[in-house]
Structure 1
């Protein structure tokens, strides 16, 4: 079951590996965007370009954490994911969720998916699909 609005953000523990770990911020002092994606998802790749722009706009006011949720066999290969992350210019942390522990906690079954949490870590916005980035920037501005 997917998270409901105003639900406290579940733990992000349980990743098999974290790429860009050096860029991790504390989750408690600013709004947090959790982005579920998969390397094999073409819509995700398009969304990441827009998400990188949003990340640059709100770089010091928004914490972005990505969850890589495998959909196909190649998605389980961390070195391929690492190469894709570099190719796409992603600099925020990527939690490799090969055992779907984090995805299950969120009740997430689809990519791309966006979960926006406020400063108190309460869910304020959820949307799935490539078009979510259109309304995402406005939601972030309202929360900040």
Structure 2
């Protein structure tokens, strides 16, 4: 799994990586992406299903000018009730390290931090639960 270092800021930092987690989901999103807001709502169901067997890290990848506003991103996080860590990737360091160009985008890593699944786009959500179950 590529490093998550280089974020402009990490919000919800208290929810850090769990060593006991069997899978890690790295989710790229942007507050200006309507599909991303819906995806986040669906990710809450995965959190409920998998609990502490799944760790989620959200990487906020700006696409438009207002996406660079930490204040606006914080408001969106509150509105969407996001509880997992949100990495503000305003300099695209994390996005570049992953080679990610899309939102929403989903990367699932196993406990050994090996990439086991990648998919971009809203419809990837349909595959996530099945892929996570296979890893766990």
Q: Under TM normalisation by the shorter chain, which class is it?
A: over 0.9
**Residue matched to 1:5:** none
What SS is found at the alignment partner of 1:75? Answer: helix
Corresponding residue for 2:68? Answer: 76
Confirm whether residue 35 of structure 1 aligns to residue 31 of structure 2.
Answer: no
Note the residue ranges of structure 2 that are not aligned, 5 or more in a row. none
Larger helix fraction of residues: 2
The structural deviation recorded for 1:27 is: 5.4
TM-score, scaled relative to structure 1? 0.91
Unmatched segments (≥5 aa) in structure 1: 1-8
Helix, strand or coil at the partner of 1:36: strand
- The TM-score, its normalising length taken from structure 2, stands at 0.96
How far 1:138 moved relative to its partner? Answer: 0.6
3-state DSSP of counterpart to 2:26: strand
- What per-residue deviation string (whole Å, max 9, x for no partner) do you get for residues 22-72 of structure 1? 011245753100000000000101111101111121121001000000000
Distance 1:86 1:27 in 2: 26
Paired residues, number: 136
Whole-Å separation in 2 of the counterparts to 1:28 and 1:107: 27
Provide the residue aligned with 2:49 in structure 1: 57
Specify the alignment match of 2:10 in structure 1. 18
Given the superposition, is the C-alpha separation of residues 130 and 29 from structure 1 closer, same or farther in structure 2, using an over 3 Å criterion? closer
